[in-house]
């Protein structure tokens, strides 16, 4: 009965639009009054909270003085504000509180501070605002002053709050305060640790928990995913299922993110069919995670199918789709989709522009990219980030407009970062401009002296122009500076199992077969007139010590394994942690022709779709 009475008030956000005029609200208000449905204080509180949470804050405030003030009403208001789009308003309401706050009030304030901190850290790539950090401290201090800091809800909230502002010391202190932490408190700590990248400590805590519920499992899962340990995340998911823990949306989203990271398409598709077969509702978050998984596994058609089937799309959805098209080399489609997005009134943010600019870059759409960059400021009033400047340099440089790239850098209103010089360096490599490359390298190493990828790029530039002295100079430079190259690793999924290959590694159980296959591949390629680029092989900086190492580059090993194990006609999908080297790229193109196989190779930052001897990147990467 009581629940039915509450209906009109709690349903308010859906009854009236956020832009409804006061007259319409008065009508509803009058109706509720006359029918007696606002008689009890709790219904009144619900009504006020509903108004506040549907952006009718001013009307909600009008209602406040109409009754004797109750904490219920005011706390409801605080809750609505803390959860709303402007959590800061909760503090204003708190200051005007006509009654002494209780422990409920403080959970809402802690929540508001947490949301503010989260918003601040996602808006910019820099560490969270000092102001938000101070705010968190003062909320906590106020809770102490009012004697409500010992409440379990406030305490676990404080742990999450300090994690959101990135204050590791405060997180530990807040957790240490808790006399007898329950599952929720420990899980909050778990989440805080893994958000700070300290998954191993989080795991210890997790293993020590007397019993873990599904939220604790999820916190652990996302911890692994966040630091890029996708394999462990999937392993944990297996354990979770064995333990019979209920699998909900949050779990699946994390699992999909792990699949996306690893390029584990089969596992990702398993999640998709799991969702479908159980008739689960595909929420925006789940849909976006699915779409992103497909893009990052190189299956753009499925990604777009998911996108089109979604009934609700937020900025993450749009940006993920745009970015998927961009990284799969579909620049025109990316721009098209961006226009569609603009026409729906969805406002792009900085991340969206990164995606669109990258789309322009892969397709060589210089003018469009320039227009897009300009529209950021003019039309969308968004200040470009360093990333956007980097994208522009990449756009000009990749298209061969090296002068434009240099002029663009010179006209930047902010100091260029390593990404900008890295983009110029890469452009120099594509267009064989050793002098410009040297300049970019000089600038880059002044900022980041030990960038291994940059050293490899420069060496490639020298090797390309047969400047072997230059190559060995770079090699010595790396030695003397102690620059360690991250070992190349290629992964391929077969029957749901991901196999990893490192350069020249012979440890795979089927190495003998792989070796035989590699020999067969070389033989077939030679018949087709392919000659390995032997001079460059000798100076391949990635593997100078190993004889013939280039023929054992990780992507070649994975490719051979794929040819052995995957039935004819299926696409071979390989995920590499670094960029593909030129020789492997040429080699793979040939393989796609000679073996008549479609090969999809995911690079460090984009996709190569090989088919009939050509690559979707048009040899610009």
Q: Which of residues 31-90 bind DNA (CB under 7 A)?
A: 40-42, 70-72, 75-76, 79
Residue 532 touches DNA, criterion: CB under 7 A: no
Q: How far is the CB of 361 from DNA (least distance, A)?
A: 11
Q: Interface residues for DNA in 192-251 (CB under 7 A)?
A: 213-216, 218-219, 222, 225, 248-251
Q: Are 217 and 251 in contact (CB under 8 A)?
A: yes
Q: Does 346 bind DNA (CB under 7 A)?
A: no
Minimum gap (Å) between residue 320 Cβ and DNA: 4
**Nearest approach, Cβ of residue 92 and DNA (Å):** 18
Q: Which two tokens stand for residue 216?
A: 């604790």
User: What is the footprint of DNA within residues 447-506 (CB under 7 A)?
Assistant: none
Binds DNA (CB under 7 A): choice among 102, 177, 342, 464: 102
Distance CA 267, CA 495 (A): 9
Binding segment for DNA among 7-15, 29-37, 150-158, 396-404 (CB under 7 A)?
150-158
The reply on whether position 350 binds DNA by CB under 7 A is yes
At its nearest, how many Å lie between DNA and the CB of residue 605? 7
| Binder among 62, 152, 489, 538 for DNA (CB under 7 A) | 152
- Select the span of 312-320, 414-422, 446-454, 577-585 touching DNA (CB under 7 A): 312-320
Distance in angstroms (rounded) separating the CA atoms of residues 162 and 169: 9
**Which CB atom, from 107 or from 445, has the smaller least distance to DNA?**
107
Long-range pairs for 22-31: beta carbons < 8 A, 24 or more residues apart:
22/58, 22/59, 25/51, 25/56, 25/59, 29/59, 29/63
Per-residue CA distances from 465 to 114, 422, 541, 579 (Å): 54, 19, 15, 20
**Segment contacting DNA (CB under 7 A): 100-108, 479-487, 498-506, 585-593?**
100-108
Hey, which residues between 351 and 380 contact DNA (CB under 7 A)? 351-352, 354-355, 358
Q: Would you say 610 and 587 are in contact if contact means Cβ atoms under 8 Å apart?
A: no
- Binding segment for DNA among 165-173, 315-323, 439-447, 588-596 (CB under 7 A)? 315-323
Question: Residue 532: which of 575, 587, 570, 460 has the closest Cα?
Answer: 587
**CA-CA distance, 193 to 197, in Å (whole number)?**
6
Answer for which of 54, 55, 156, 459 binds DNA (CB under 7 A) is 156
Looking at 61, 103, 417, 475, which residue binds DNA (CB under 7 A)? 103
> In the beta sheet, which residues pair with residue 498?
493
Report the residue number, 205 or 560, with the smaller CB distance to DNA.
205
Q: How far is the CB of 69 from DNA (least distance, A)?
A: 11
Stretch that binds DNA, among 12-20, 99-107, 429-437, 468-476 (CB under 7 A): 99-107
Cα 337 to its chain centre, rounded Å, is 20
Shortest CB 615 distance to DNA, Å: 21
Closest separation in Å from C-beta 140 to DNA: 14
- What is the smallest separation between the CB atom of 12 and DNA, expressed in angstroms? 15
Tell me which stretch binds DNA (CB under 7 A): 147-155, 329-337, 556-564, 579-587: 147-155
Contact 217, 250 (CB under 8 A): no
Length of the chain: 621
| Sheet of strand 489-494: strand arrangement | 497-502, 489-494, 572-576, 599-602, 607-611, 614-615
C-alpha 114/C-alpha 527 separation (Å) is 64
**Residue whose CB is less far from DNA, 246 or 570:** 246
Residue 387 makes contact with DNA by CB under 7 A: yes
Binding residue (CB under 7 A) for DNA from 84, 157, 369, 422? 157
State which of positions 175-194 bind DNA (CB under 7 A): 182-185, 187-188, 191
Radius of gyration of the chain (CA): 28
Q: If binding means CB under 7 A, how many residues of this protein chain bind DNA?
A: 75
Which residues in 415-444 contact DNA (CB under 7 A)? none
Report the Cα 560 to chain-centroid distance in Å. 31
Region of 136-144, 288-296, 461-469, 547-555 interacting with DNA (CB under 7 A): 288-296
Q: Which is nearer to DNA, 156 or 459 (CB)?
A: 156
Which of 53, 54, 107, 490 is the binder for DNA (CB under 7 A)?
A: 107
Taking the C-alpha atoms of residue 456 and residue 460, their distance in angstroms, rounded to an integer, is 6
If binding is defined by CB under 7 A, does position 269 make contact with DNA?
A: no
Q: In whole angstroms, what is the distance from residue 385 CA to residue 391 CA?
A: 10
Give every CB contact of residue 378 below 8 A, 6+ residues apart in sequence.
none
Closest CA to 53 of 26, 16, 81: 81
User: Sign of the CA dihedral 583, 423, 321, 330?
Assistant: negative
Q: Does residue 151 interact with DNA by CB under 7 A?
A: yes
Based on the shown chain and the rule CB under 7 A, indicate whether residue 317 belongs to the binding site for DNA: yes
Q: Which of 35, 58, 122, 476 binds DNA (CB under 7 A)?
A: 122
- Give 41 or 364: the residue with its C-beta nearer to DNA: 41
Q: Which is nearer to DNA, 136 or 474 (CB)?
A: 136
Among 257, 361, 426, 490, binds DNA (CB under 7 A): 257
Give the Cα separation of 388 and 360 in Å (integer).
Answer: 12
Angle, in degrees to the nearest 10, between helices 350-363 and 386-398: 10
Strand partners, 497: 494
Strand-strand pairing, 572-576 and 489-494: antiparallel
Q: 497-502 and 489-494 as β-strands: parallel, antiparallel, unpaired?
A: antiparallel
Question: 5 vs 532, which CB is nearer to DNA?
Answer: 5
């Amino acid at each position: 009965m009581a629940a039915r009475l509450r209906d009109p008030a709690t349903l308010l956000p859906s009854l009236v639009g956020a832009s409804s005029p006061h007259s319409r609200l008065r009508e509803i208000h009058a109706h509720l009054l006359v029918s007696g449905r606002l008689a009890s204080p709790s219904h009144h509180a619900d009504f006020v909270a509903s108004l506040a949470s549907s952006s009718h804050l001013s009307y909600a405030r009008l209602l406040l003085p109409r009754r004797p003030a109750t904490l219920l009403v005011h706390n409801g208001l605080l809750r609505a504000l803390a959860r709303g789009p402007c959590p800061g308003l909760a503090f204003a309401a708190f200051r005007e509180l006509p009654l002494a706050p209780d422990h409920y009030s403080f959970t809402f304030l802690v929540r508001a501070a947490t949301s503010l901190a989260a918003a601040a850290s996602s808006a910019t790539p820099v560490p969270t605002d000092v102001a938000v950090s101070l705010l968190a401290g003062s909320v906590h201090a106020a809770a102490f002053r009012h004697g409500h800091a010992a409440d379990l809800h406030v305490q676990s909230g404080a742990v999450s709050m300090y994690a959101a502002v990135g204050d590791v010391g405060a997180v530990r202190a807040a957790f240490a305060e808790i006399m007898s932490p329950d599952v929720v408190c420990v899980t909050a700590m778990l989440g805080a640790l893994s958000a700070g990248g300290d998954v191993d400590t989080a795991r210890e805590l997790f293993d020590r928990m007397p019993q873990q519920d599904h939220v604790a499992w999820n916190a652990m899962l996302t911890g692994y995913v966040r630091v890029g340990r996708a394999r462990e995340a999937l392993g944990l998911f297996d354990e979770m299922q064995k333990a019979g823990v209920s699998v909900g949306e949050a779990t699946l989203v994390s699992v999909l993110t792990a699949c996306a990271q690893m390029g584990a398409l089969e596992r990702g598709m398993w999640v998709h069919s799991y969702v479908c077969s159980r008739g689960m509702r595909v929420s925006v978050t789940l849909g976006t995670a699915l779409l992103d998984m497909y893009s990052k596994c190189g299956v753009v058609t499925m990604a777009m199918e998911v996108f089109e089937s979604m009934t609700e799309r937020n900025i993450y959805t749009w940006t993920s789709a745009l970015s998927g098209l961009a990284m799969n080399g579909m620049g025109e489609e990316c721009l098209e989709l961006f226009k569609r997005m603009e026409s729906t009134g969805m406002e792009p943010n900085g991340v969206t522009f990164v995606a669109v600019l990258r789309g322009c870059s892969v397709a060589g759409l210089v003018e469009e990219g320039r227009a897009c960059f300009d529209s950021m400021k003019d039309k969308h009033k968004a200040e470009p980030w360093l990333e956007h400047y980097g994208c522009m340099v990449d756009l000009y440089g990749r298209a061969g407009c090296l002068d434009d790239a240099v002029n663009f850098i010179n006209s930047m209103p902010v100091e260029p970062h390593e990404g900008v010089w890295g983009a110029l360096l890469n452009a120099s490599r594509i267009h064989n401009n050793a002098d410009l490359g040297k300049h970019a390298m000089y600038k880059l190493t002044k900022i980041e002296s030990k960038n291994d990828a940059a050293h490899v790029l420069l060496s490639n530039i020298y090797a390309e122009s047969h400047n072997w002295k230059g190559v060995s100079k770079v090699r010595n430079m790396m030695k003397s500076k102690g620059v360690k190259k991250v070992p190349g690793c290629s992964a391929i999924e077969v029957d749901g199992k991901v196999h990893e290959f490192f350069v020249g590694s012979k440890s795979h159980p089927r190495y003998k077969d792989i070796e035989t296959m590699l020999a067969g591949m070389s033989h077939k390629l030679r018949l087709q007139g392919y000659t390995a680029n032997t001079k460059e092989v000798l100076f391949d900086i990635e593997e100078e010590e190993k004889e013939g190492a280039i023929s054992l580059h990780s992507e070649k090993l994975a490719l051979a394994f794929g040819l052995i194990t995957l039935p004819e006609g299926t696409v071979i999908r390989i995920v590499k942690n670094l960029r593909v080297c030129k020789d492997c790229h040429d080699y793979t193109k040939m393989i796609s022709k000679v073996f008549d196989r479609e090969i999809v190779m995911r690079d460090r930052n984009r996709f190569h779709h090989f088919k009939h001897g050509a690559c979707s990147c048009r040899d610009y990467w």
